[in-house]
């Protein structure tokens, strides 16, 4: 066991974790943040994507211990203060989701993409989301949602 | 989740990492963990201790050195592809880095971790071979250098000795007429290379004076294809040269991988097509 | 009144899903929750001779290892394990005995205080087997093909009709003939959410189960029967499902094991399968088909032969409707069809998006393309020559069929008229370009269902039915239907589903939910409306006092006289008249059998596809596709369009990517992860276009809807295969069309 201190969605937690505990299980089982999902065992699907020190990472491919000292954001903390994040609004408006299971990971990856490239082309969006699988929507509306969020936030610093 | 119990220690320096490693022969070095953790989840690897070197500041840097570039082993793929000097001097590095995994993987995975893992389908090994890189290593006996051409020794195996870690990768200064390119045919689901081809050529006044062509994904380890290089050196940089050289790819006495996605014959075919595409780009044709 | 139906509205569950608040089966908490991990068989067939659990049990925190040796007593009749989608046969019973019937069969459940511990303990279990030879290869076992047993499932999946006319004679004399063998590999549903059940053990031994399912009541039925429990002691809840595509039509083994463990330990238990274990239950069966078509020189198809052989397990006879699609689309007078199955040492196959349809239709639609080339007639023209408003499999007219309009609008949008029919005639650099097309078809069924509606004293409407929303949009369209029926704003309507305590609804499958549950919601709201109307009439001085039901309409939260909108009573006033109580109604909707029985009911599509084939590599990209859909009334173009695009991507995937690769020497699916089983990612998808063709149908059901879950996928594979032929001149009859088949 080791003790880790992480800041998750603005709140600091100090917890005992086993060496083998994956970050995603720490978030879901220890902190109860079940918006971060698990869809595979092979780092393929991206459903577990969160932000670690501001960058999108797959929380199923990291140990909780590796995150010690880091600032984490999950889907639950993407929009502090109750208002929805522009990507959340756009995914809802453009129907960028169906079953919703991949959605938190998609949004977290898209948020990283827009922070690097506020005005991506359709190809850049599709390639930027290559690590996230959606089995329902056929991706079209996901791309549109990200384009819409980019348009709506044009000129607004992230 | 990982079935086996494992301890975790974060090393504060290379020296600490080395001493932990020598005290725990069963330990594994953990950098980004994007090769190791998936392997542990599948029980392919069950170390008793993980020594995390990802946050050792002396391992995470990219700086110019003697006209070339030295890359700290804990630099992430993202660090590398977003470095302006690397993009300018070694286009093959940028092309390869952008094709590794996906955004999330590139944010965490490191070049040192990738080459120490030596997956036969990983991208970096081919590029490092083509660029003539040197792998900087430290271990109980001190620091030493291993040329990339001697580093990748086989299926998931390297020239690293027990207790050694990769500390940096040094890319030599490119000559004035140097060009490089990396082209990859990826497994659509895993995004690993079915065939990846890295080329570095020097074309002086229309004649190819030096060439290195390396493949990943084709055999049990990345390798330099000497036959292709030989067919290029001394020849004019024209489509006919490339065509002939590419056709020499993956011939000779090498083991060719095979899986349900690509047969040996298809891999061999891909090696030629990708050699051609990489050479066309490097020669600016 | 239609304020919402037909409008492109956002999902009512959208905000919950974009904020991570929507909870799936593995996300419900319980006090003192324990975690189960399933141990899977590593052999394909044989017996367990010894299973050693002591090392696992010795770990502190490991609570139990349940195997066939120590499991509690369970029901012994096959009948007790029959769920609503069970094919004829003897359903698989986890941990029944030491017999191994397929690779990956669950053989033990380890229960521990933490997930990590359960998995570690599972790795310590040692199993000895006595192996027996297995057969998993359909191709080499075709000689064992036999007719399937019939049972309840045969009602929905009837065998092909008897031969009509004389195929042999007419085919022999036909001036134009094509013949081919068509096949596809097995596929797995692979919804993003893994199967999971959280079984909450209540103080009195009652169970509240959060299950991943397409039918909460189906899971409830299964648990009550298998464990001899009463319905009032088992409640199954499933508000959100992370995709299913048919995989949730039957209760999966994690449910059985979690319930068994919870009852044994008297603790709450969660069992989640791994992605690898998602390849250890139902799949789309490998199927091999033969087709022969005979046509006259004008292109009229006079003779059809179509047979199919599908795989099934050794314990159940899973079947699909496969050859029957040929006469459903093409009205030949001489037709011979046949369907058989081969039992193999695999798990029973399971309905997967457009089961049978996306098997049979691509085969006949590829054969039709071959016939078009044989005759030198444009493939669209050939389909128009053989167009029929009758379904010749049943010899009934269609209740509606706007396929002709689909052909017209789809062809125009795609630019089909500009096609040069010669294979290999279009290219762009080292890419060969091909255009292909196909018809798609799926039956429009309606089942009986019940719903409840309550208008609360605050004037809010709450409607419930035990159906599911696997991402299809059930929540949203039911809210629209309820709101429109009672003239209320959607914000005032709450539709709830996915709870076995709710009124009876069938499993959510076969594209019948919009028709089935939608009709129930409409009926219950209408009947609630009648109650409200009566209450409104009782209000002293009511302007509606003398009105008849047919004189009024529900608009803007009021009951109004159609002829005199000023004469109105608000719904709030009507509820207030109920003595301080909510107004409640529970109703049943039954298909109008007398009206429907003389017609065939189906959705249709016309699909046009462009592919680019890289000459050097054999890689294929679908660069452009247009799907024109005749699917009856479109309740919500936004959710509908997404369903069709999603289905089209499944079609691309089926044609080019998806296959579960079986190593027959060991009898196991080898690519059992998302790193090896290729489903499309964002970068694989290009331009996809959907057209909804206007189609009116008042026979199919009161809403005029046909369901859209399957019709999007059905036409895609053949359109792609035909486009590949047009690009390369290579006729590929084996799906998926992988690189080696092109080069």
Q: Which residues of C touch A51 (CB under 8 A)?
A: none
pLDDT digits (tens, 9 = 90+) for C36-80: 999 999 999 999 999 999 999 999 999 999 999 999 998 889 999
Residue A156 pLDDT grade (very low, low, confident, very high; cuts 50, 70, 90):
low
Give mean pLDDT, residues C241-254: 98
Q: Please give the C-alpha separations between residue C154 and each of C79, C319, C391, C506, in angstroms, as whole numbers.
A: 17, 8, 19, 17
What is the rounded end-to-end Cα distance, in angstroms, of chain C? 58
Answer whether C617 sits within 8 Å of B270, measured CB to CB.
yes
HEC readout, C95-107: CCCCEECCCCCEE
Vertex C252: Cα angle to C247 and C257 (nearest 5): 160
What is the rounded CA–CA span in Å between residue C37 and residue C270?
Answer: 9
Q: Which two tokens stand for residue C459?
A: 């004037």
Residue B260 confidence (pLDDT): 83
CATH topology of domain A86-152: DNA polymerase; domain 1 (1.10.150)
Residue A45 confidence (pLDDT): 96
Give mean pLDDT, residues C545-574: 96
Q: What is the DSSP letter of B27?
A: -
Q: Which residues contact C74 (CB under 8 A, 6 or more apart)?
A: C93, C226, C227, C260
Which chain B residue is nearest to residue C619, measuring alpha carbons? B185
- Please tell me the pTM assigned to this model: 0.96
Q: Would you call B108 an interface residue with chain A, using a CB distance cutoff of 8 Å?
A: yes
Q: Let me know if C710 is a catalytic residue.
A: yes
Q: Which two tokens stand for residue B112?
A: 């040192």
> Is the predicted pLDDT of residue C263 greater than 50, yes or no?
yes
Backbone φ and ψ for A55, nearest 5 degrees, come out as -120, 145
> Is the predicted pLDDT of residue B109 greater than 70, yes or no?
yes
Q: Report whether C184 contacts C433 (CB < 8 A).
A: no
Answer whether B107 sits within 8 Å of A112, measured CB to CB.
yes
Q: How many CB atoms lie within 10 A of CB C678?
A: 22
Residue C742 confidence (pLDDT): 87
Q: How many CB atoms lie within 10 A of CB C205?
A: 11
Report which secondary-structure segment, H or E, holds C79: none
Sign of the dihedral defined by the CA atoms of residues C636, A105, A86, A34, in that order? positive
* Residue C612 bridge partners (DSSP): C433, C621
What ranges do the domains of chain A cover? 2-77, 86-152
Answer whether A44 sits within 8 Å of B42, measured CB to CB.
no
What is the rounded CA–CA span in Å between residue C90 and residue C99?
Answer: 14
Answer whether B260 sits within 8 Å of C657, measured CB to CB.
no
Q: How many CB atoms lie within 10 A of CB C478?
A: 29
In percent, how much of chain B has pLDDT > 90? 87
pLDDT digits (tens, 9 = 90+) for C376-429: 999 999 999 999 999 999 999 999 999 999 999 999 999 999 999 999 999 999
Q: Please give the C-alpha separations between residue C534 and each of A50, C59, C585, in angstroms, as whole numbers.
A: 55, 68, 13
pLDDT digits (tens, 9 = 90+) for C605-641: 999 999 999 998 999 999 999 999 999 999 999 999 9
CA atoms within 13 A on the CB side of C654: 34
pLDDT digits (tens, 9 = 90+) for A118-148: 999 999 999 999 999 999 999 999 999 999 9
How, if at all, do strands A71-73 and A2-8 pair? parallel
Short-list A14, A102, A74, A28, CA closest to C29: A28
Residue C682 confidence (pLDDT): 85
Domains of chain B, first to last: 59-171 (3.30.465.10), 178-282 (3.30.390.50)
> Is the predicted pLDDT of residue B5 greater than 90, yes or no?
no
Q: Report whether B59 contacts B112 (CB < 8 A).
A: yes
Backbone φ and ψ for C194, nearest 5 degrees, come out as -75, 155
Residue B198, classified by CB atoms within 10 Å of its CB into exposed (0-12), middle (13-18) or buried (19+), is: buried
Give mean pLDDT, residues C685-692: 95
Residue B88 confidence (pLDDT): 96
Q: Which two tokens stand for residue C316?
A: 């159940």
Residue B268 confidence (pLDDT): 95
* Closest residue to A129, CB basis, from C115, C191, C682: C682
* Closest residue to A44, CB basis, from B1, B54, B189: B189
Q: Which residues contact C345 (CB under 8 A, 6 or more apart)?
A: C44, C45, C101, C102, C103, C134, C135, C136, C313, C314, C667
Q: Which residue has the higher pLDDT, B277 or B204?
A: B277
Rg of chain A on CA atoms, in Å: 15
> Is the predicted pLDDT of residue C92 greater than 90, yes or no?
yes
Residue B43 confidence (pLDDT): 80
Give mean pLDDT, residues B62-71: 97
Residue A158 confidence (pLDDT): 45
Give CB contacts under 8 A, 24+ apart, made by B262-269: B262/B194, B262/C739, B263/C740, B266/C618, B266/C739, B266/C740, B266/C743, B267/B194, B267/B195, B267/B217, B267/B218, B268/B218, B269/C743
Backbone φ and ψ for C438, nearest 5 degrees, come out as -160, 155
What is the rounded CA–CA span in Å between residue C469 and residue C238?
Answer: 9
Q: Would you call A117 an interface residue with chain B, using a CB distance cutoff of 8 Å?
A: no
Task: Please tell me which chains touch C, using 3 or more CB pairs under 8 Å as the contact test.
Answer: A, B
* Residue C196 bridge partners (DSSP): C272
Q: Which residues of B touch C115 (CB under 8 A)?
A: 1
Interface test with B, best of C621, C675, C736 (most B CBs within 10 A): C675
Residue A155 confidence (pLDDT): 57
What is the rounded CA–CA span in Å between residue C355 and residue C714?
Answer: 9
Query: How would DSSP label each residue in B59-105?
Result: GS-EEEETTEEEEETT-BHHHHHT-HHHHHH-HHHHHHHHTSS-HHH
**C223/chain B closest Cα distance in angstroms:** 29
Short-list C10, C346, C375, C309, CA closest to C174: C375
**A13/chain C closest Cα distance in angstroms:** 20
Classify C4 in phi/psi space as left (phi over 0), alpha (psi -120 to 50) or beta.
alpha
What is the rounded CA–CA span in Å between residue C662 and residue C671?
Answer: 8
Domains of chain C, first to last: 25-133+191-274 (3.90.1170.50), 141-187+283-445+597-742 (3.30.365.10), 447-590 (3.30.365.10)
Short-list B181, B243, B238, CA closest to B214: B181
**Pseudo-torsion of CA B25, B30, B33, B38, nearest 10°?**
10
Chain C residues whose C-beta is within 8 A of a chain B C-beta are: 115-116, 119-120, 122-123, 616-618, 657, 661, 670-671, 674-679, 681, 684, 739-740, 743
Answer whether C739 sits within 8 Å of B260, measured CB to CB.
no
Mean pLDDT rounded to a whole number for chain B: 95
Report which secondary-structure segment, H or E, holds C664: none
Residue in C187, C193, C452, C710 annotated catalytic: C710
Tell me: cis bond preceding C736? Omega within 30 of 0 counts.
Answer: yes
Q: Which residues contact A49 (CB under 8 A, 6 or more apart)?
A: A36, A56, A57, A58, A59, A104, A105, A106, A108, A109, A131, A132, B104
In CATH, the architecture of A2-77 is Roll (3.10)
Q: Report whether C331 contacts C300 (CB < 8 A).
A: no
Chain centroid offset of residue B38 CA: 19
Mean pLDDT rounded to a whole number for chain C: 96
What is the rounded CA–CA span in Å between residue C386 and residue C373?
Answer: 15
HEC readout, C260-312: HHHHHHCCCEEEECCCHHHHCCCCECCEEEEEEEEECCCCCEEEEEEEEEEEE
């Amino acid at each position: 066991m080791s003790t880790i201190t992480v800041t998750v969605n603005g709140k600091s937690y100090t917890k005992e974790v086993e060496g083998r505990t994956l970050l995603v299980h720490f978030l879901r089982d220890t902190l109860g943040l079940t918006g971060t999902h698990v869809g595979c065992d092979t780092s393929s699907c991206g459903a577990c994507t969160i932000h670690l020190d501001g960058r999108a990472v797959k929380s199923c491919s990291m140990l909780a211990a590796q995150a010690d000292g880091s600032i984490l954001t999950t889907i639950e903390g993407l929009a502090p203060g109750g208002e929805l994040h522009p990507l959340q609004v756009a995914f809802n408006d453009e129907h960028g989701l169906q079953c919703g299971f991949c959605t938190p990971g998609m949004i977290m990856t898209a948020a990283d993409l827009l922070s690097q490239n506020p005005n991506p082309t359709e190809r850049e969006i599709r390639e930027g989301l290559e690590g996230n699988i959606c089995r329902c929507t056929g991706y079209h509306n996901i791309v549109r949602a990200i384009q819409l969020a980019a348009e709506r936030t044009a000129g607004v610093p992230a | 989740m990982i079935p086996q119990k494992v301890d975790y220690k974060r090393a504060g320096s290379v020296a600490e990492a080395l001493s932990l490693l020598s005290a725990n022969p069963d330990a594994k070095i953990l950098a980004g963990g994007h090769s190791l953790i998936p392997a542990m989840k599948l029980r392919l690897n069950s170390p008793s201790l993980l020594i995390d070197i990802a946050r050792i500041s002396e391992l995470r840097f990219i700086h110019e050195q003697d006209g070339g570039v030295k890359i700290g082993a804990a630099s992430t793929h993202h660090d590398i592809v977003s470095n302006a000097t690397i993009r300018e001097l070694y286009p093959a590095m940028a092309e390869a880095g952008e094709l590794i995994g996906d955004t999330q993987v590139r944010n965490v995975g490191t070049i040192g971790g990738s080459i120490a893992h030596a997956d036969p389908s990983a991208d970096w090994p081919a590029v490092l071979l083509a660029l003539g890189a040197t792998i900087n290593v430290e271990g109980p006996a001190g620091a030493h250098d291993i040329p990339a051409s001697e580093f990748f020794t086989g299926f998931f195996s390297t020239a690293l000795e027990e207790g050694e870690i990769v500390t940096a990768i040094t890319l030599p200064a490119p000559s004035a007429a140097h060009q490089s390119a990396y082209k990859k045919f990826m497994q659509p689901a895993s995004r690993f290379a079915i065939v990846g081809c890295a080329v570095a050529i020097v074309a002086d006044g229309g004649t190819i004076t030096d060439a290195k062509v390396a493949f990943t994904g084709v055999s049990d380890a990345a390798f330099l294809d000497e036959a292709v290089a030989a067919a290029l050196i001394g020849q004019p940089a024209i489509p006919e040269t490339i065509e002939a050289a590419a056709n020499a790819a993956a011939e000779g006495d090498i083991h060719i991988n095979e899986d349900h996605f690509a047969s040996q014959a298809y891999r061999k075919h891909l090696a030629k097509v990708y050699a051609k595409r990489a050479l066309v780009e490097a020669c600016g044709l | 009144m239609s304020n919402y139906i037909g409008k492109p509205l956002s999902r009512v569950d959208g905000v919950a899903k974009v904020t991570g608040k929507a909870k799936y089966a593995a996300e419900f908490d319980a006090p003192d929750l324990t975690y189960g991990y399933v141990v899977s068989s590593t052999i394909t067939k044989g017996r367990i001779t010894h299973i050693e659990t002591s090392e696992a049990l010795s770990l502190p925190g490991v609570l139990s290892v349940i195997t066939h040796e120590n499991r509690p007593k369970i029901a012994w009749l096959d009948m007790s394990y029959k769920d609503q989608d069970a094919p004829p046969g003897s359903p698989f019973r986890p941990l029944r005995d030491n017999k191994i019937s397929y690779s990956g069969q669950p053989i033990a459940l380890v229960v521990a205080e933490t997930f990590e511990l359960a998995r570690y303990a599972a790795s310590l279990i040692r199993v000895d087997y006595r192996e027996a030879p297995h057969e998993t290869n359909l191709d080499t076992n075709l000689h064992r093909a036999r007719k399937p047993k019939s049972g309840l499932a045969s009602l929905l999946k009837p065998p092909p009709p008897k031969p009509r006319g004389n195929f042999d004679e007419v085919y022999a004399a036909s001036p134009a003939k094509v013949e081919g063998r068509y096949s596809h590999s097995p596929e797995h549903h692979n919804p993003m959410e893994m199967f999971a059940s959280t079984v909450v053990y209540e103080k009195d031994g009652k169970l509240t189960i959060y299950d991943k399912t397409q039918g909460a009541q189906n899971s409830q039925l299964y648990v009550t029967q298998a464990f001899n429990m009463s319905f009032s002691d088992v409640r199954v809840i499933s508000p959100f499902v992370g995709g299913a595509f048919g995989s949730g039509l039957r209760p999966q083994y994690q449910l059985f094991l979690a319930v068994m463990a919870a009852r044994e330990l008297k603790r709450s238990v969660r069992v989640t399968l791994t992605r690898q274990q998602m390849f250890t239950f139902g799949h789309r069966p490998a199927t091999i088909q033969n087709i022969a078509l005979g046509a006259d020189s004008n292109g009229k198809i006079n003779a059809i032969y179509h047979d199919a052989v599908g795989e099934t397990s050794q314990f159940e006879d899973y079947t699909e409707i496969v050859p029957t699609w040929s006469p459903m689309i093409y009205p030949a007078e001489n037709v011979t069809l046949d369907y058989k199955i081969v039992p193999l040492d695999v798990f029973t196959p399971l309905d997967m998006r457009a089961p049978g349809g996306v098997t049979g239709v691509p085969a006949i639609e590829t054969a039709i393309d071959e016939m078009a080339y044989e005759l030198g007639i444009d493939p669209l023209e050939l389909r128009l020559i053989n167009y029929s408003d009758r379904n010749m499999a049943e010899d009934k007219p269609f209740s509606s069929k706007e396929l002709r309009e689909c052909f017209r609008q789809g062809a125009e949008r795609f630019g089909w008229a500009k096609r040069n029919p010669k294979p290999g005639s279009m290219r762009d650099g080292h890419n060969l370009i091909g255009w292909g097309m196909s018809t798609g078809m799926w039956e429009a069924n309606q089942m009986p269902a019940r719903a409840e509606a309550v208008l609360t004293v605050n004037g809010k409407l709450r409607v419930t039915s035990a159906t599911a929303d696997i991402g299809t949009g059930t929540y949203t369209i039911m809210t629209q239907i309820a709101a429109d029926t009672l003239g209320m704003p959607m914000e005032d309507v709450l539709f709830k589903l996915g709870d076995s305590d709710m009124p009876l609804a069938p499993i959510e499958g076969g594209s019948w939910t919009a028709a089935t549950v939608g009709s129930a919601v409409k009926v219950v709201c209408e009947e609630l409306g009648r109650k409200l109307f009566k209450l409104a009439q009782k209000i002293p001085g009511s302007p509606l006092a003398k009105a008849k039901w047919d004189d009024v309409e529900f608009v803007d939260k009021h009951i109004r006289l159609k002829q005199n909108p000023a004469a109105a009573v608000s719904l709030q006033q009507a509820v207030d008249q109920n003595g301080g109580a909510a107004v409640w109604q529970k109703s049943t909707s039954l298909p109008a059998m007398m009206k429907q029985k003389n017609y065939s009911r189906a959705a249709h599509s016309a699909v046009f596809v462009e592919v680019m084939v890289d000459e050097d590599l054999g890689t294929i990209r679908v660069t452009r596709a247009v799907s024109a859909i005749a699917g009856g009334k479109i309740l919500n173009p936004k959710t509908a369009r997404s369903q069709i695009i999603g289905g089209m991507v499944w079609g691309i995937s089926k044609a080019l990517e998806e296959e579960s690769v079986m190593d027959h020497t060991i009898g196991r699916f080898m690519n059992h992860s998302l790193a090896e089983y290729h489903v499309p990612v964002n970068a694989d998808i290009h331009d996809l276009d959907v057209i909804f063709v206007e189609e009116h149908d008042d026979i199919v059901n009161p809403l005029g809807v046909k369901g859209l879950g399957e019709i999007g996928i059905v036409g895609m594979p053949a359109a792609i295969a035909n486009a590949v032929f047009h690009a390369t001149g290579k006729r590929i009859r084996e799906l998926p069309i992988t690189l080696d088949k092109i080069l």
